[in-house]
Amino acid sequence: MSDREDLLRSLTDRSELTDLVARHSVWLDEARYDESDRLFTTDVVVRSPRGTATGLDGLVALARAGHDAYSRRMHSKSNLVVDVDGDTATVRAHDLAVFVIDDESEAIAAAVHRYGARRTESGWRFTSLDITPIALTAPLARVL
């Protein structure tokens, strides 16, 4: 490949991985669990404070256990650091989430998400996710 082709490939990979991180937030916020295979490999491994999950079914069960109790949720990822090495990649992202408990309260959580990814025939997919919590508030009174 020429330098120009290498640059184009690098920029395309980074764009696709960044989009995948954003889609992960939507997947959680809108409970789009039927789209799991569009984001994750079938052998994905997730480690979080709630436990470890392997495979798509385990991943969905872990996500449901941590999110279905809330009436609404909103994840926002930022400060992405994308490192691509051929057909594998890592992505580090800050995650800030609002969990609406009920009409009167919500909680805020912050974490660092570390993704592993692999290029597949269908595009980039996450092979792993390690979640390191930073902070979680007690329920806060809602004013909105």
Domain count, the chain: 1
Enter the tokens of residue 9. 């490939």
Per-residue model confidence as pLDDT tens digits over 110-126: 999 999 999 999 999 99
In single-letter form, the type of residue at position 130 comes to D
Enter the tokens of residue 90. 């890592």
Cα–Cα distance, 110 to 129 (Å, whole number): 15
CATH of the domain at 64: 3.10.450.50
Q: Which residue has the tokens 């009436």?
A: 71
SS3 15: helix
pLDDT for 63 equals 97
pLDDT (average), residues 40-61: 97
Per-residue model confidence as pLDDT tens digits over 19-42: 999 999 999 999 999 999 999 999
Domain of residue 71, residue span? 3-141
The DSSP secondary-structure symbol of 138 reads P
Is residue 144 over pLDDT 80?
Answer: no
